[in-house]
């Protein structure tokens, strides 16, 4: 996520924020103790209410995000937020009975026969969810679907850049859920500090790597387990054999979705050096076919003035440092009033400039040439493990080689981003890009205690090993230790 994706550890604290959060947590914990394991019907009803909240307030949610961004494509909000959230909830409802079923496990030889092993998936209790501004509906409702499927209660903290959405949800959620089931909080100044210090049973944070470290440190005081969905610089690697127009069409769609403000977007592109000029020409052609100009409603604004200034300064730094900068839409490169930034390619940037040192979170794509595939692999491996990796090749052996050599949180082969929308695939980072995972069955498991239970037989075979030890014990232990 962007460096400003969430303010979970911002300095300062609204008076009374900690007390309000503590009171909400205490109410949810008390409700959990009264009914610690909701049944199948109750969980399905919670998921149905979550879906109704989305569907019945769809237009208000779209407009709230549009106001938070200044200009947010309606189609992008529906396509990337509302639709996948509803689909994820439906997926959880379809599979819930199977997920809840106790699991049989094998019995060790020494305790056979008659004993049994089971794993019981049970709710953890109260889940904390810290939501970033870039896809706040998606990144609130999909974790909630997993938490409610697992039988938990939840508290949600939204970003300071989601003020209109937060106000809408704070007013709307109580019509669908009691506060002891779901409570939503706006970021009014330092709320995230107090939130991340609460004694949750599990805390899910989505945001930047730097803020993730601070959230994890705050949670450590309570030994609260965390799932960290962070970010990093996710690369696309186009191999010599892959059709360049197809790669350009797919990469640019993902790169410009939400104006590049996605943690799993293509952060830089590795391309055979001889094909860079062709890619630049194709990119300009494709972008001008899709977006007439910066004023179009189909193209989203940068979230705030600080992020806008950071991006324009990064482009200028690249230009001054000798990189070739290609503006892909005609006219002004950006519009400060609307915070809309023309898509740019930055060809062969120096490795120490801002665009190559931090997650970009904007419609700017660095393009780095390579001569040999091994060179491209080493370029990626020399950097922190990314949240996603996007290899493009028609050769299965090449893809298998790249999957073996490059570690990342997730992979989308011959495209970008779409692995995130597969509800039967886990989503999560690795190393600096995060820890833990959710979505689908893995989300249910993350927010459950997979509780091991051993059932002793009416007559325990362990009687044969009670002291005083004799010849029978010697024979049994000799046999078992061979």
pLDDT (tens digit per residue) in 333-361? 999 999 999 999 999 999 999 999 999 99
For residue 229, indicate whether it is catalytic: yes
- Residue 6 is predicted with a pLDDT of 41
CA distances from 84 to 176, 259, 374 (A): 20, 19, 36
The residue ranges of the chain whose pLDDT is under 50 are 1-13
- Residue 14 is predicted with a pLDDT of 52
- Residue 480 is predicted with a pLDDT of 79
- Residue 9 is predicted with a pLDDT of 41
- Residue 4 is predicted with a pLDDT of 40
- Residue 464 is predicted with a pLDDT of 78
Q: Which domains does the chain have, with CATH numbers?
A: 17-231+433-451 (3.40.605.10), 235-421 (3.40.309.10)
- Residue 138 is predicted with a pLDDT of 97
Q: Which residue of the set 187, 229, 359, 412 is catalytic?
A: 229
- Residue 15 is predicted with a pLDDT of 55
Q: Which residue of the set 81, 187, 239, 263 is catalytic?
A: 263
């Amino acid at each position: 996520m962007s460096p400003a994706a969430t303010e979970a550890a911002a300095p300062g604290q609204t008076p009374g924020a900690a007390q309000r959060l503590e009171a909400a947590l205490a109410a949810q914990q008390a409700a959990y103790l009264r009914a610690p394991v909701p049944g199948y019907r109750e969980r399905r009803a919670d998921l149905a209410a979550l879906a109704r909240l989305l569907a019945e307030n769809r237009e208000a949610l779209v407009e709230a995000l549009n106001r938070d961004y200044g200009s947010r494509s309606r189609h992008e909000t529906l396509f990337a937020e509302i639709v996948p959230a509803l689909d994820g909830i439906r997926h959880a409802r379809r599979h819930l009975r199977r997920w809840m079923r106790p699991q049989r496990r094998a019995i060790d030889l020494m305790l056979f026969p008659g004993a049994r092993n089971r794993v019981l998936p049970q709710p953890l209790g109260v889940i904390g969810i810290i939501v970033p501004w870039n896809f706040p509906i998606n990144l609130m409702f999909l974790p909630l679907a997993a938490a409610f499927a697992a039988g938990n209660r939840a508290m949600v903290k939204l970003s300071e850049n989601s003020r209109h959405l937060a106000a809408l949800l704070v007013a709307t959620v109580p019509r669908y859920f009691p506060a002891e089931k779901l409570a939503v909080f706006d970021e009014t100044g330092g709320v995230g500090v107090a939130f991340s210090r609460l004694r949750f049973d599990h805390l899910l944070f989505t945001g930047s790597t730097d803020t993730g470290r601070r959230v994890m440190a705050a949670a450590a005081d309570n030994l609260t387990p965390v799932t960290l969905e962070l970010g990093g610089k996710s690369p696309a690697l186009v191999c010599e054999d892959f059709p360049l127009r197809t790669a350009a069409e797919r990469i640019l769609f993902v790169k410009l979705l939400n104006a590049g403000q996605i943690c799993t977007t293509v952060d830089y592109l590795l391309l055979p050096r001889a094909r860079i000029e062709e890619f630049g020409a194709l990119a300009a052609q494709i972008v001008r076919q899709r977006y007439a100009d910066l004023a179009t409603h189909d193209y989203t604004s940068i979230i705030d003035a600080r992020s806008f200034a950071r991006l324009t300064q990064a482009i200028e730094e690249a230009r001054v440092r000798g990189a070739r900068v290609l503006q892909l839409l005609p006219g002004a490169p950006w519009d400060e009033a609307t915070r809309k930034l023309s898509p740019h390619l930055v060809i062969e940037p120096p490795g120490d400039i801002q665009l190559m040192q931090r997650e970009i979170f904007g419609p700017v794509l660095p393009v780095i040439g390579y001569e040999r595939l091994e060179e491209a692999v080493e370029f990626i491996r020399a950097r922190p493990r990314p949240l996603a990796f996007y290899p493009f090749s028609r050769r299965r052996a090449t893809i298998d080689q790249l999957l073996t050599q490059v570690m990342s949180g997730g992979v989308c082969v011959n495209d970008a981003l779409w692995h995130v929308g597969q509800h039967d695939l886990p989503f999560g980072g690795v190393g600096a890009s995060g820890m833990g995972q959710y979505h689908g069955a893995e989300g249910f498991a993350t927010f459950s205690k997979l509780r091991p239970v051993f059932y002793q037989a009416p007559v325990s075979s362990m009687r044969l090993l009670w002291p005083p030890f004799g010849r029978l014990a010697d024979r049994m232990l000799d046999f078992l230790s061979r």
